[in-house]
Amino acid sequence: MEFVVIGGAAVGGFVIASSKRSIKATRASVKRVFFAKPYTKDDYIEILLLLVGIFYKIRKQGLISVEDDIEKPSRSPLFTQYPRVLENREAIHLITDTLRTVMTTTIASYDLEALIDKELESFHSECMAPAHRINAVADGLPGLGIVAAVMGVVLSMSKIKESPEVLGASIGSALVGTFIGVLLCYGYIGPLARNMEGIANEDMQYLNVIKTALLAFIGSGLPPKVAAEFARRSVPADIRPNFIEMEKILGKKYWLQDKQSSGDEGDD
């Protein structure tokens, strides 16, 4: 009965306090806690390779050469090499929208950075909102546990004429409500909210790597590999590919472009 009272009141309060859109977003966020895979080194290597590939194509053929790629990433020979990136909708939007902006407008590098920061700030706020709502539910659980305990005590008063053993068992059962409320708050729902916050922060770290590479190449005009190095150093330290490892991966894929570019400059 205590579980019914505490759980029902918590869910009911959450539904009353949330819009349909918020409920849907919270459900999706909770689902990610149990089924989503954390970002790995391979995920970051893939996004760096994709960005370097885009940058090399732009440097060799011009910005307009990637128009078809960013309009239909799912059909792009460049993007489809990296299926993990294609699955990340926000990452694709950040890359394509930034390149569209640069193609269609004349924007200073500091304005471009401010624009990306605004987008990431909005995204982070949306990602954190479900965690805040679940955390609010967790904060209310001890109080709901007390409510359930009080109701149990009130019901126990109807047994006041019973033997001490019966009355004691009834009051003890009532106090279980307080225990359940505190246990759910600090043992399950609160940690669930912390986990959701951690996932949102991981998403932001991933997008910040993309932002760093885009600003280094587009905003500062750095060579593709240098822009990738700026981005690599933004990767969390525990899963960051080291310099030599990244150099080998990029070298296998792009050494020919570098050689051709050097040859062209020598001829000039």
Q: What are the backbone angles phi and psi of residue 32, rounded to the nearest 5°? A: -65, -30
Is pLDDT above 70 for 90?
A: yes
Cα–Cα distance for residue pair 133/130, rounded to 1 Å:
5
Tokens at 67, concatenated: 């128009």
Q: Which residues contact 49 (CB under 8 A, 6 or more apart)?
A: 81, 82, 249, 250, 253
Percent of the chain that is helix, strand, coil (3-state, to 5): 85, 0, 15
Query: Residue 3 has what pLDDT?
Result: 85
Query: Residue 109 has what pLDDT?
Result: 86
Query: Residue 136 has what pLDDT?
Result: 93
Tokens at 107, concatenated: 């924007």
Query: Residue 155 has what pLDDT?
Result: 82
Confidence tier at 253 by pLDDT (50, 70, 90): low
pLDDT tens readout for residues 113-155 = 999 999 999 999 999 999 999 999 999 999 999 998 888 888 8
Tokens at 97, concatenated: 């929208």
Is pLDDT above 70 for 256?
A: no
Tokens at 159, concatenated: 């047994």
- Total residue length of the chain: 268
Is pLDDT above 70 for 54?
A: yes
pLDDT tens readout for residues 65-87 = 888 899 989 888 889 999 989 99
Helices H / strands E in the chain, number of each: 11, 0
- Which H/E stretch holds residue 229? helix 224-232
Asked if 181 and 145 touch (Cβ cutoff 8 Å), the reply is yes
pLDDT tens readout for residues 178-212 = 899 999 999 999 999 999 999 999 999 999 999 99
pTM of the entire predicted model: 0.83
Confidence tier at 268 by pLDDT (50, 70, 90): very low
Query: Residue 255 has what pLDDT?
Result: 54
Averaged pLDDT for residues 25-35? 92
Is pLDDT above 60 for 265?
A: no
Query: Residue 262 has what pLDDT?
Result: 47
pLDDT tens readout for residues 6-20 = 989 999 999 999 899
Q: Which residue has the tokens 């569209």?
A: 100
Cα–Cα distance for residue pair 97/16, rounded to 1 Å:
36
Percent of the chain with pLDDT over 70: 94
Phi-psi region of 108 (alpha: psi -120 to 50; beta: other; left: phi over 0): beta
Is pLDDT above 60 for 173?
A: yes
Q: Work out the widest C-alpha separation in the chain, in whole angstroms.
A: 105
